[in-house]
Amino acid sequence: MTRVLCAGHVNWDVTLRVDSLPAPDGEAAITGQTHAGGGSASNTAVTMESLGVDSALLGSVGEDDYGRLAREELTAAGVDCSHLQRTIGETTVKYLVVDDRGEVMVLANDGVNESFRAADAPDSLLDSVDHVHLTSQRLETAEMLAERARDAGATVSFAPGRRLDERDYRSVAATADYLFLNEREAETAAEEGLLAAGDGVTVITRGEDGGEVRASSRRTHSGYDVEPVDTTGAGDAFAAGFLAAVLNGEDDDDALAVANAAGALAAKSIGARTHVSWADIEDLRE
């Protein structure tokens, strides 16, 4: 069975449903509230596991109730959490404010989600995986994990996320076989020289407008017409769908269609973690 290591953020999310996102000095009515796990690495691992890809997770949580809940939820989803570090401090909590169109505003504490290090992944773990998916994390951790993954013969993907404009990730992007970005991140990446840093494939999600693959040529997919409920984690599901398809032997065009389907299905449900089946994806594609 194909095995993937996802490395990066593991959070606990508090999602507040509101009638509208408030303007400065404004107010909105809370129409619902949920608590569940989040964080790009763990979100991706859960979706990949639901698509039949054996997934392990490298990250860090605090020795608190939120950390315990996150670990229990991930383990119940089938994710291998034996390398999820527990450290002194608070699990990162994100407060997600979601309006009735599915648009999201995020508030977060610092927490310990970047306390893990590349050394926390033993050689035996990297030798056992076919692919390493890196999400937002300390630069030095990402660089070392990418290098060690290459040495172990694994392919590498990278989804740098919102902190792309704060960290010089060019060396990691140059190592990656696949670079995942949203439209805003793609603009920043172009300005920072990340898109020219390596010879890999760049995959861009465009939300309701689908996605794009950039390699030797550009290919697009217009996506699927769904009514969004919560776009939190849709980009992580998009990356998980793409990687699951590629690792299953699909070409980049079919993988892009699968990615768009996974992202669309994620946007139809509340919360950052999405359980998707191949039957769900095929139904939407048809």
SS3 state of residue 165: helix
CA distance 270 to 250: 29
DSSP bridge pairs for 4? 55, 131
Whether the CA torsion 20, 25, 29, 35 is positive or negative: it is positive
CA distance 281 to 30: 32
Instruction: Choose, from 177, 230, 236, 252, the residue flagged as catalytic.
Output: 236
For tokens 């449903």, the residue is 17
236 is catalytic: yes
CA distance 281 to 286: 9
Burial of 230 (0-12, 13-18, 19+ CB in 10 A): buried
CA distance 156 to 146: 7
Strands (E), the chain: 3-7, 11-18, 30-38, 54-62, 84-87, 93-98, 104-108, 131-135, 155-159, 178-182, 201-205, 211-214, 218-221
Whether the CA torsion 242, 248, 251, 254 is positive or negative: it is negative
Enzyme catalytic residues? 236
